[in-house]
Structure 1
Amino acid sequence: MTGEDESNLRAELARLQQEHRDLDAAIDALNDAPGRDQIQVQRLKKRKLILRDRISFIEDELTPDIIA
């Protein structure tokens, strides 16, 4: 992996982590709101899971393989 590739992955990772935190805040706000929209909460949670999978994939890409 080149330095530029790693830099791009780190930038994407930071963006995805921020979006994941933002979704946490949005879900909390919706859950606290009167007359909350459960379908919207479920959609946000699904998006959050997709982000978590992508974050895990990028973290694995950035972690060097160590063969013991």
Structure 2
Amino acid sequence: MTEITDKPGDAKDEDAGNVDTKTFQRLERLRELRISHRDLDDVIHRLQMDLYINEVQLRRLKKRKLLLKDEIARMESELIPDLNA
């Protein structure tokens, strides 16, 4: 009679490791996006305080900030699917 046991290196363990790695990478990417969003917010705020504002540059930064916000929301909804329910 052969005994079946789950040992390190089994396919089940490898799949779980891959899921954890992918989730970790996605969470890391989400963290980076949030930092970029916050940094852009700081830059935009400083530019708005400037008397000689480059309106085109300011508009581009705001648009980029909105795109980051959308990507953050998309990633959050993928990681936490019931968030929009």
Q: TM-score higher than 0.5 here?
A: yes
- Of the two, which has the highest radius of gyration? 2
Q: TM (normalized to structure 2)?
A: 0.72
What amino acid maps onto 2:37 in structure 1?
H
| Partner residue, 2:62 | 45
Q: Does 1:29 align with 2:29?
A: no
Identity of aligned residues (%): 38
1 or 2 for the larger relative contact order (CA 8 Å, sep ≥6)?
1
> Mind listing any 5+ residue stretches in structure 1 that lack a counterpart?
none
Question: RMSD between aligned alpha carbons?
Answer: 1.7
Q: Number of aligned pairs?
A: 66
Q: Which runs of 4+ in 1 moved over 3 A?
A: none
Cα distance in 2, alignment partners of residues 64 and 21 from structure 1: 24
